[in-house]
A and B are shown apart, each in its own frame.
Chain A
Amino acid sequence: MKIVALIEFLRRHLKAVIRLCWVVLALLVAGDGFLVSKEHAHTAPEHWIGFWSAFGFTACVLIIIFSKWYGHRGIMTREDYYGDE
C-alpha cells in the first residue's frame, strides 16, 4: 500500500518533516510581508506583516483554553451520567 509506505517514510524522518514545516511557516509569513498585495484587506491591522498568522495561532489557543475552562465547570461529566438508558 503506497499511502502507508509514504506515511511510514514521513514518520521515519519526522525531524526533517518538522524542520520543513517551520521553513514553510517562515516563508508564508515572509511572503505575506513582501509579496502579497493588501488591497483586499478590510481593516487596518490586516496590513501588519503576519497578522493572520498571529490571528490563527491566537484563535486556536483561545478556543482550546476557553473550551477546556468551560468543560471543567461541570459540563464534562462521566459517560453514564444519564444512566444506562
Chain B
Amino acid sequence: MAMNELWLHPAVILLLGAMLVPLLRGRARMMFLIAVPLLAFMRVVCLEPGTHGVIGFLDWNLTFGRVDKLSQVFGYIMTLMCILGSVYALHVKNPAEHAAAWCYVAGSLGVIYAGDYLVVFLFWELMAFSSVFLIWFRRRPQSVNAGLRYLLVHVAGGVALLGGIILRYKATGGSLAFGAMDVAHPDLATWLILAGFILNAAVPPLHAWLPDAYSEATVTGSVFLCAFTTKTAVYALCRAFAGMDVLVVLGVIMAIYGVVYAVLENDARKLLAYHIISQVGYMVAGVGLGTQMAINGACAHAFAHILYKGLLFMGTGSVLQMTGKSKFTELGGLYSKMPWAFVFTLMGGLSISAFPLFSGFVSKSMIVAAGFEEHRTTAAFLLMLASAGTFLHTGLKVPYFIWFGKNNCSTETWERAKDPPWNMRLAMAITAVFCIGIGCYTPYLYNMLPYAVDYHPYTAYHVSETLQILLFTAVGFFLFLKKLEPTATISLDMDWFYRMGGRAVQWFASKPFQALDTWVGELYRVCGLAWLMTSARVSAWFDGRVIDGVVDGVARGVRDTGDRLRHVQTRQLQFNIFSAVAVLVVLLLVYMLTSM
C-alpha cells in the first residue's frame, strides 16, 4: 500500500488540460491539443503495477490507482485513442468541445484505474455528464433532444449502479472493493451493479441510447463517443463479472441484434452505431465465457475495436463534415471526390470484418475459438453468422453506397464533396496503420493482454475459413444488391417507449385542457342564447371581447412564456450541467492534488 506517495493519475493530466485549453489560441492550442493526450499516454505507459493513489475520505480509503495488466491494456488504448481523436479534432474551434472530450476520457481512465466502487461511480458519472456535450455541441434541435435522452438513460443507469453499490456495502459489511463478484450466486446488489454496467455496454433492451445519441453527435464527438463508454463498460464487466453465464446469451443477442438493425439503417453513422452493439456483443460474450482465453479475447477485441470503429467514424464523419450529409439516400458515387476518405473507411471496414492481416482477425477469433473450446457450439456459430453480417454492412454496404452505387447527391452536396483537411486525413492514416499493424504483427497486442496468450490466428484452416465466409458474403451482397438499396426511413427501436412515453405526458397536459376550454366556450354560447336579445348582445360582447380576450390573452401569454421558458430552460439546463461538471472536476482535482 503506497499511501501518501506522489502519484500522478493520467486522468489528472487530461482534466488540467481541459481547464487550460480555452486559454490558448491558434498554433499554441494545436500543439497543446497534441501534447496533453500524448503526456497522458506516456504517463499510462510509465505506470508501475501495484496500488497507488489511496486517499482517505471519511471512513474509507479510496483507491484511484490500481495498476495491473487488465487496467493497463485498457488505459493504454484509451489514451492512444485520445491522441488520435484529438488530432482528428484539431480544426475544431470550440474549446469547450475539446474540454468535454478530455473530461470524458478522464472519466474513462478514472473508472479503469479505480480500486473501489465509490471511485468507479464518481468517474462513471463524469463520463456521462461530459460526453453529453459532444452531442449538444452539434447544436441542432434534434441533438439537444437526443442529448437529453442520453443523459436521462445514463442517469437511470447510474442510479441502478449506486443502488447496487449501497446494497453491496451493507451486505458485505462495509466492502467497497471493485473486484470479481460471486457470479454463481448473484444477489440484488450484483444484479443492480450489472444493470448499471450493461446499460453502458448497450446490451439490449438497454441499448437504444447508443444509436440515438451517436448519430446525432458532432463529427469529432462521435469519434470519441464510439470508443469510451461501451469499452469502459466492457472493462468493468471483465473486472467484476467474468464467467457470468447470462452474459454469453446477452452477448450473442447483441451481436445479431446490431446486424439486423444495420440492414434497415439509412444513416451511415447510425449503421456504425448499431455495429458497435454487435461488436461489443462479442466482448460481452467473451466476458460471459470467462476463461483466460475468452477474457484475453474480450480485451484484445476491445483494443482493436476502439481503433477500427474510430477509423470508421472518422471516415463517415469526414463525409458528413465535407458534404453535410450522412444518409445513403443523399450520397453515392463519391469515390472520385473523396478517395482518401474511401480508402481509410474501407480499411476500417476490413478490420471490423476480421479480414486476414487486419486487426479484427486476430482479436475477434479469440472469443469465437474460446466459445468452441468451451463447447458452446451454438453460441460460437451464431457469432460466426454475425460476422458475415458485419462484413455485409460495414465492409460492403457503407463504402458501396457512399462512394459507389447510385449517385443520390444533390448538386450542392457534389460541389462541396472533397477530401477532409490534413489533420483529419492524418488521424485516419495513423489509425489505419494501427489497424493493419495489429493484424500483421500479433505480439504487439498479445503481449499486452492480461493472461499469457497461447493462440495462433494465422493457421491455414482459420485463414481459409474466414476468407470463405467473407467472400461468399460478398457474393450474397452483390446478388441481393437491389434488396439492400437504402430507403429514406428510420427504424423504431426501444427508444420508442421513452420517446412516446414523453409524448403521452404531453398529451395529458394538452388534451384535457383543450377539452375544458371547449366546454367553457360551449357553456358561454348556450347561456348567451338563453338571454334576451339585448342581454344576449351584451353577453356576446362581453364573451367575445372580455372573456375570450382574457382567455386567449392568458392562453397566448402562457404559450409564449412556455415557449420562451422551454428555450431558456434547455440552454440553462445545459449551462447548469456544464457548471456542475466543471465545479466537480475542479473539486476533484483540488482534492486529489492536496491529498497526495
Contact = CB atoms under 8 A, between A and B. Distances in A.
Nearest to A80: B490
Chain A interface helix/strand/loop/mixed: helix
Given A52-B469, A63-B385, A85-B145, A75 B264 contact: yes
Given A43-B377, A67-B263, A4 B468 contact: no
Interface string B445-479: 00000000000000111101111111111011100
Chain A contact-residue range equals: 35 or more
A36 B460 contact: yes
B483 interface: yes
Contacts of B469: 52-53, 55-56, 59
A32 B489 CA distance: 41
Interface in A1-16: 1, 3-4, 7-8
Nearest to A38: B461
B491 A64 contact: no
B335 A31 contact: no
B310 to A, nearest CB: 22
Contact of A75 (B377, B385, B491): B491
Contact of A81 (B141, B261, B263, B490): B490
Contacts of A42: 372, 377, 380
B563 to A, nearest CB: 14
Interface string B477-506: 100100110011111100000010000000
B343 A56 contact: no
B238 interface: no
Interface in B238-269: 259-261, 263-264
B274 to A, nearest CB: 11
Contacts, number: 143
B471 A25 contact: yes
B335 A59 contact: no
Chain B interface helix/strand/loop/mixed: helix
B388 interface: yes
A16 B340 CA distance: 25
Interface in B314-367: 335-336, 339-340, 342-343
A36 B458 CA distance: 12
* Most-contacted residue by chain B among A4, A28, A46, A56 (CB, 10 A): A56
B392 interface: yes
Contacts of A79: 488-490
A79 to B, nearest CB: 5
A50 to B, nearest CB: 7
A37 B490 contact: no
Interface of B: 141-142, 145, 259-261, 263-264, 335-336, 339-340, 342-343, 372, 377, 380, 384-385, 388-389, 392, 459-462, 464-473, 475-477, 480, 483-484, 487-492, 499
Please provide the 10 A-B residue pairs with the shortest distance between their CB atoms, ordered closest to farther.
A60-B476, A67-B263, A56-B469, A56-B472, A59-B388, A52-B468, A42-B372, A57-B472, A40-B461, A60-B473
23 contacts: A3-B343, A25-B472, A25-B475, A35-B460, A36-B460, A42-B377, A42-B380, A52-B469, A53-B468, A55-B385, A55-B472, A56-B470, A60-B389, A60-B480, A61-B476, A61-B480, A63-B388, A64-B392, A77-B489, A79-B489, A81-B490, A84-B141, A85-B145
Given A4-B336, A63-B260, A70-B260, 13 more contacts: A8-B336, A25-B471, A28-B467, A32-B468, A42-B372, A53-B469, A56-B472, A60-B388, A60-B475, A62-B385, A66-B260, A67-B260, A75-B492
